[in-house]
Amino acid sequence: MRSGIGYAPGDSVLHRMNPLLKLTGLLSLTLGIMIFPNLVFSAILLLIILIFFLIARVQLKLSKGRTKFLLIFSILMFIVQILVAPNGIIFFFLVPQIGTLGPLIPVTSFGVERGFIISIRFLLIVLSSMLFVSITDPTLLAHSLSQFRIPYRYTFAIILALRFLPLFDLENQIVRMAQKSRGLSSDVGSIRKIIRTVRYTFFPLIVSALSRVDVLAMSMDGRGFGFSHQRAYVRKSEWRLTDFLVGIGIIAYLVLCILSALGIVSYFP
């Protein structure tokens, strides 16, 4: 059994990029779609992210449950935007006119467009984060952050978070398999089922996490973690010419988003 979350070693162009540059690209991507929430622009970025998965030779491992969650959450956000955005051309009313009552809850062009933008933005953030975790070595990321005078205690916390992601995902699968072997269903169709799922899934994971944290703390104390203000690294990240070129591209992307939001540039309808 293998987890679908976590770093996937490789030798692609994206794997060889500086980890700090990849983190900056992830944050810039999120910031850009917040500054310029355009439907066509967001769809193009989503297509580019999917192409990056192919370039990095990283499989988009989404289980049935995760795929169901992404689809349901995207549809819910789409519906919410339709309900709260009454501006634009009215297509129809969800509640037709009945006597003197209605019509109510119009479905408008702006609401539909806004719903698609929010849904695609959600998928874009989730998939880009998955790509970042899959192609970024946590150790090299910690070294990149330490070069900017960030204390290694904080970078070590990032390493732990990225290292423990696949571990907790694997343990979650084990707990769910144990539940199925005992005849317990993990479906969440009602509030009662959600509470039951939390009780039988969340609590074992918390106990497992606390036990691992206890072992990790003793291991860190035994190795003298925090004794010195400086930390040595066996593997170090490097900056290449391609990294600087990609950095210029990230800056150009943010400038394009700002100019498009201000209406100075109008490449996208």
pLDDT in tens, 161-196: 777 777 777 777 777 777 777 776 666 556 676 677
> What does the pLDDT look like over 97-150, one tens digit per residue?
777 776 777 888 888 888 888 999 999 998 998 899 888 888 888 888 877 777
Q: What is the DSSP letter of 198?
A: I
- Res. 243: pLDDT tops 60: yes
What is the reported pLDDT for 210? 76
Q: What is the pLDDT of residues 51-74, one digit of tens each?
A: 998 898 887 766 666 777 788 888
| C-alpha span between 40 and 152 (Å, rounded) | 41
Give the position of tokens 């040595």. Answer: 232
Query: CA-to-CA distance for 120 and 46, rounded, in angstroms?
Result: 7
Residue whose entry in the numeric block shows the structure tokens 């919410």 = 80
Q: How far is CA 8 from CA 77, 209, 238, 241, in A?
A: 31, 23, 19, 24
User: Alpha-carbon distance 56 to 9, whole Å?
Assistant: 10
Run of H or E including 104: strand 104-108
* DSSP-derived secondary structure for 208-250: HHHHHHHHHHHHHHHTTTTSSS----SS-----HHHHHHHHHH
Q: Which helix (H) or strand (E) holds 108?
A: strand 104-108
Q: What is the pLDDT of residue 247?
A: 93
CA atoms within 13 A on the CB side of 18: 19
List the one residue out of 124, 126, 125 whose CA is nearest residue 62: 126
